[in-house]
Amino acid sequence: MSELDSIFQYRLLLSKALELHIPLSPAEQLRLERLRGQLSTTIPELDDAADPDPALDAEFACEGRFRPARLRGLSGGGLVLATDKPPLPGKHLLVHLWDPSHAIEYSFPTRVIDRTRGPGAGMRVVFEGLPAKVFLMTRGRRARIEDAWTVGTAKP
């Protein structure tokens, strides 16, 4: 499992329990605790972030437009994104990340907590809300969405 997928699973279980008030099964609770122990929740600083391997393309929706970004850092608490026009702190964004090695798109609701402009422009965002994961169409496979309502159910 990739680090991004671990973060998705962690945020999904955390949102399910704390925001949606859906009780976690004992197996889900154990999984959440394991992930909490494995993942840092400290969001890297903008100038300390190094491109993850592999570096991933991202996009975020803001003020009715989609804007390109590049993932620079990630944690269980949020993301660091390089982008030419980072929004003001406090702005709520939906960030989409693509993992081409697994044909998966992740969507994370976030809020901007810090930004820099000029050379090396970017922003730090904290996760807020329920993430989603879409398995993109591949040969012989249909797209599938995974969210809090399908976790723990049989996969097609």
Q: Tell me, what's the pLDDT at 55? A: 74
Please indicate whether residue 45 or residue 95 has the higher confidence score (pLDDT). 95
Long-range contacts, stretch 5-9, CB < 8 angstroms, 24+ apart: 5/99, 5/102, 5/104, 5/133, 6/35, 6/38, 6/39, 7/39, 7/74, 7/75, 7/76, 8/106, 8/108, 8/131, 8/133, 9/35
Residue 137 has pLDDT above 90, yes or no: no
The Cα 93–Cα 34 span in angstroms is 28
CA atoms within 13 A of residue 86's CA, in its CB half-sphere: 24
CATH number corresponding to 3-146: 2.40.10.220
Q: Tell me, what's the pLDDT at 153? A: 45
- The overall average pLDDT reported for the chain is 86
The Cα 106–Cα 141 span in angstroms is 18
CA atoms within 13 A of residue 10's CA, in its CB half-sphere: 22
pLDDT band at 138 (very low <50, low <70, confident <90, very high): low
pTM, two decimal places: 0.83
